[in-house]
Amino acid sequence: MKISIYPTTDDMSKAAADLVAVQLAEKPTSLIVFPSGESPSGMLKYLVEYAKEDKADFSQCTIIGLDEWVGMDERDYGSCKHYLHTNFFNHLDLDPERVVMFDAKAEDLEGECERINTFIAEHGGLDMMIVGIGMNGHLGLNEPGTPFDLYAHLSELAPITVEVGQKYFKQTTALTQGITLGLKHLSEAKMAVLIASGEKKATIIADSLQGHISPDVPASILQNIAQARILLDKGAASKLEHVS
């Protein structure tokens, strides 16, 4: 893995957007996973600007949604789909068939996992998978204890995920399960990208990138991924040792 540290969150966000733009220039038909949440907001803002300035062409790529709260879709404020549509898709001229996301309201959620797994496999695997990191080290909704060898799956949400997740909703919302791409997808992606900012993430970043590798800290899998790119602002990197 390669760790890059930037002076500000904005610098980190721009660097992440630049990685995506380069990927699209090198392979316009790329299969790219995008997350929702606070971490990618700056990156997505830059990518929308790049698209409008013809610095990034999304017309031939396929976008995969990282995860979703079970029982929600794009009509639910606070859902991952709502976030990505509002902050990204609605600002781009995208072919809807090139956006592939979980149907978290499906009757057969296990079937949804298989649908996404099959789609990725049949399209040659992921070219780039971008993730943020939770306060407990989760990537996507791969909570502590998730085996490293899982593809898409259902997850029981950890209490801290339920607590922190409330910030995305206008009112207290019951969250119990998630549906998510797996850590096996991350390890097999041609480029795995972690973005994180703020001192509140510093402890879990240090534990993940320089601590013991264990499913108890899902993000520690990044230490085993040679093609991983870690993009941090100074706050998030502040507890790392011997990294400049």
138 is catalytic: yes
- DSSP H or E run through 80: helix 80-87
Q: Containing H/E element for 13?
A: helix 9-26
Q: Who's near 135: CB < 8 A, 6+ residues apart?
A: 160, 164, 200, 201, 204
Give the per-residue pLDDT at 174. Answer: 86
Residues 6+ apart with CB under 8 A from 86: none
Considering the candidates 143, 153, 207, 233, report the single residue annotated as catalytic. Answer: 143
pLDDT in tens, the chain (244 residues): 999 999 999 999 999 999 999 999 999 999 999 999 889 999 999 999 999 999 999 999 999 999 999 999 898 899 999 999 999 999 998 999 999 999 999 999 999 999 999 999 999 999 999 999 999 999 999 999 999 999 999 999 999 999 988 988 888 888 999 999 999 999 999 999 999 999 999 999 999 999 999 999 999 999 999 999 999 999 999 999 987 6
What is the rounded CA–CA span in Å between residue 189 and residue 227? 8
3 state DSSP class of 130: strand
Strand extents, DSSP E, 31-125 = 31-34, 62-65, 67-69, 99-100
User: Is 67 tagged catalytic?
Assistant: yes
Helical H runs in 94-179? 109-122, 159-165
Point out the catalytic residue in the list 82, 136, 142, 153.
Answer: 136
Delineate the domains of the chain, giving CATH numbers in brackets. 2-233 (3.40.50.1360)
Q: Give the number of residues written for the chain.
A: 244
Please report the pLDDT score of residue 243 as a whole number: 75
Check 67, 73, 127, 233 and give the catalytic one. 67
Report pLDDT for 169: 87
The C-alpha atoms of residue 58 and residue 44 are separated, in whole angstroms, by 13
User: Can you point out the beta strands (E) in 112-206?
Assistant: 128-131, 153-156, 177-180, 192-196
Active-site hit among 82, 85, 138, 153: 138
